[in-house]
Chains A and B, each alone.
Chain A
Amino acid sequence: MAEIVIVGAGPAGISAAEILVANGLRPILIDEGARAGGQGYRRPADGLALDMNKLMGSEAGRYAALHARFAALRPQIDYRPQTLVWAIDGKRLHLLRDGRTETLDCDKLLIASGAMDRIAPLPGWTTPGVFTLGGAQVALKDQGCLIGSRVAFLGSSPLLALAAKQYRAMGAEIAVIADTTPFSAKLAAMPALLGAPRTLLRGLWYMATALRAGIPMLNGVTPVAVEGDGRVEALVLRDGSGRERRFACDAVALGYGLKPETQLADLAGAEFTYDPDFRLFLPKIDGFGRARPGLYLAGDGVRIGGADAAEASGALAAHAILSDLGRPQDIAAIRPLARRVARLRGFQRGLAQAFAWPKQQIAALPDSVTLCRCENVTIGEVRAAMAQSLGPVEVNRVKAMTRCGMGRCQGRVCGPALQEIVAAGTGQGGESAGRLRGQAPVKPIALAAAEEPA
């Protein structure tokens, strides 16, 4: 029987596994996490007295349903938690579990690797106490901890207000919710956002809640600096009218929307194309998530769409796998899934206008700002390397010259900002900066483990 491997036990991976199981197959579901659910529907570790219903709010029902579905699914699949796929070589996956490596050959591979925050640097952003917005939510959902007692939320995303609401409900003081996109851009994007759905309504509702609670909520800000010696003391920014404002806080949550984790898709041989709306290189897929023969991509790991789109796209990919195995699929069941995925992912394009990636602000950052937090490379070093470079300037060349993007995170954090700095230097579009290529291992592994005979 064909070996079907799904990487990622979030909403996309779980939905795909369900359909395969319903068709008499027993897929292998590999997940780096200890508990299924992915980042968004993350389940707290045992023993934590955390009211997930309160925390998840209107999403509580979906959260509970996903975990109930997984509990029913688990005996029917080969579930391998706490397992890292650190390299892919053709049809062979290289795994790391409990410090030991092994290989796994597959016929069909579905990657549902999820997303992480997209980050724009600012002066002082490496100060302890600055965390990603997603990280602020993980600290709460996974560990029952707030990242600080008085927290500033900075970036551009409807999730800023969502996370601030969760933090406030759990007893945090909210110093400010500061969004770099002007309110006028949010209004202009309204037509693209209509018709879609709960996500927008939730976002607006949280913003209204924050306003009523008297939380300072600013649009069109320019970040100036995170201040503090060894720990966060304040967030300084210029508001929409150009006035500098200082918000005392002991933690900052930073997030400019999400970006797909595409390193594994890259190693598995997906082709990439530049998306000018999101200003990211994304894997090419067909309407079902096929990237190449035997390779399928689903969920936020290939296109940001949120949990509902992830579920539907995981199901679509499972239907594609079945179809490619020679099992005819019921088109009537597939059409609504495809429509839902298209609608929810289309909605994200509207969001990308209303909560824009601040490319001009990044291009204008001073030379002294750290760009690569792994290798401690400043924006000035990148600019200097570009000035010295002979031949065409692109991100992989700059990476080789400066080590920016070469560190342990593999450019996950600095990549999007590096791309804008390079694009600003070339004076051409974002695409001209090129794409940081993925490298194995996608995450650091102990050398002893990598050297073991496979």
Chain B
Amino acid sequence: MDRSQAQFRRVAFRSGAAVTLSFDGLPIRATAGDSVLAALLENGALIRHLEFGGEPRAGFCLMGACQDCWVWSSEGGRIRACTTPVSQGMKLFAEPQGMADPHG
């Protein structure tokens, strides 16, 4: 991913265990303690497409209120990116995987 296209810009170093996750199959390197949202936006990843009309979204309130940063996990569940910390081996997607109900 093109880091020059990143939305977020890290200005404070975080020490901690290195974590690798993936988003739509592409690897994302992060540090334990990062939120999923920060890890994705620091790497220029799109968060999701709106279920209605498909326009791109990248979160809004960043404090767990607006519910506009949900991404999909490989198990079919949804994760709220701004309040979920990264974990090693997470596989996340902008679109629902398998038969999960996109409006669930």
* Interface residues in chain A, defined as those with a beta carbon under 8 Å from any beta carbon in chain B: 32, 34, 39, 44-50, 116-117, 126, 128-132, 134-136, 138-140, 142-149, 170-172, 230-231, 250-251, 261, 373-376, 407-409, 412-413, 443-444, 446-447
Contact = CB atoms under 8 A, between A and B. Distances in A.
A128 B57 contact: yes
Contacts of A412: 61, 65-66
Interface string B1-31: 0000101111111111000000000000001
Nearest to A407: B67
Contacts of B5: 231
B61 A128 contact: no
A48 B33 contact: yes
Closest 7 CB pairs of A and B: A144-B12, A135-B62, A128-B58, A408-B67, A376-B52, A50-B12, A47-B16
Contact of A373 (B42, B62, B68, B82): B68
Interface of B: 5, 7-16, 31-35, 38, 41-42, 46-47, 50, 52-53, 55-68, 70, 77-78, 82, 85, 104
Nearest to A403: B52
Contacts, number: 143
B75 to A, nearest CB: 11
B66 A409 contact: yes
B11 A134 contact: no
A232 to B, nearest CB: 9
A373 B60 contact: yes
Contacts of B10: 144-145
A261 B64 CA distance: 12
A112 to B, nearest CB: 15
A86 B46 CA distance: 29
Given A49-B14, A145-B10, A251-B7, A39 B77 contact: no
Contact of B9 (A49, A128, A142, A148): A148
A39 B83 CA distance: 13
A134 B55 contact: no
- Most chain B CB atoms below 10 A, which of A143, A149, A375: A143
Contacts of A116: 61, 63, 65
A126 B55 contact: yes
A43 to B, nearest CB: 12
B67 A146 contact: no
Given A143-B34, A413-B66, A446-B77, A49 B12 contact: yes
Contact of B63 (A47, A130, A134, A147): A134
